[in-house]
């Protein structure tokens, strides 16, 4: 238990996923969100040389253990048109995903490692500045793979536009595959800026896998 607390507190000191753009040195971004399935706290912190460190704590419904994730990202390529590509590594500790199939494993933890590439590009649109992102990640369990699923593949694609200074409108598709299980979820969203904070509403619906509609409420802060 002691090493778990060390991981968590280190995450708080530095600040399951920065985007392609690095956080500026000394800058902090934090987001608190919740929906009917989970509550989530996310933070990232910019350090010297374009490195971005971050952490995420997520508590899924009907789980005994929360998920803890720590990550580090660094830009590896910048295009002339403003495109950027970053690479990242992450480590996540969570209740074993096999608990849904093997009830005796409820409360048992597992550790997974992730590697990913994150592409982003800003551009102008007729209604304001916009951006597009594509995130691709591979995940592998470090501890026992009870269900022998092997790798998990994750692919997210997003688009956003800012028609006025205080309003951002976003859309995202999120896909993952683990063994024979697949999930595809489509999410929209709007963020309204109030000072240094933004209030966010993000409805979503499943296309593959769990199709239940959800509405996520969030608060974003950067300083």
pLDDT for 18 equals 62
Lowest mean pLDDT segment, chosen from 13-22, 43-52, 66-75, 134-143:
13-22
pLDDT tens-digit readout, 158-188: 999 999 999 999 999 999 999 999 999 999 9
Q: How confident is the model at residue 3 (pLDDT cuts 50, 70, 90)?
A: very low
Task: Please report which residue ranges of the chain form alpha helices under DSSP H.
Answer: 2-14
> pLDDT at residue 202 above 50?
yes
Q: What is the DSSP letter of 22?
A: P
CATH fold label, 2-222: Porin (2.40.160)
pLDDT for 138 equals 98
Q: Is 81 helix (H, G, I), strand (E, B) or coil?
A: coil
Which is nearest to 115 in space by CA: 134, 144, 95, 140?
140
The token pair that represents 141 in the structure block: 């369990």
Q: Structural domain boundaries of the chain?
A: 2-222
pLDDT tens-digit readout, 123-151: 999 999 999 999 999 999 999 999 999 99
**The model's pTM:** 0.88
């Amino acid at each position: 238990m002691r090493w778990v607390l060390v991981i968590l507190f280190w995450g708080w000191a530095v600040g399951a996923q920065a985007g392609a753009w690095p956080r500026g040195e000394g800058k902090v971004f934090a987001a608190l969100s919740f929906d009917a399935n989970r509550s989530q706290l996310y933070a990232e912190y910019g350090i010297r040389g374009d490195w971005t460190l971050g952490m995420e704590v997520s508590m899924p419904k009907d789980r005994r253990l929360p998920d803890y994730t720590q990550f580090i990202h660094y830009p590896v390529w910048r295009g002339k048109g403003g495109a950027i590509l970053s690479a990242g590594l992450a480590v996540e500790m969570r209740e074993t995903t096999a608990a849904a199939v093997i009830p005796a494993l409820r409360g048992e933890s597992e550790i997974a490692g992730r590697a990913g590439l994150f592409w982003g590009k800003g551009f102008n649109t007729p209604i304001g500045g916009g951006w597009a992102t594509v995130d691709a990640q591979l995940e592998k369990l470090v501890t026992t793979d009870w269900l022998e699923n092997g790798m998990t593949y994750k692919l997210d694609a997003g688009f956003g536009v800012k028609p006025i200074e205080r309003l951002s409108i976003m859309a995202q598709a999120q896909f993952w595959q683990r063994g024979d299980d697949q999930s595809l979820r489509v999410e929209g969203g709007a963020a309204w800026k109030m000072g240094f904070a933004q209030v966010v509403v993000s409805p979503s619906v499943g296309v593959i896998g769990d199709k239940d509609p959800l509405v996520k409420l969030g608060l974003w802060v950067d300083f």
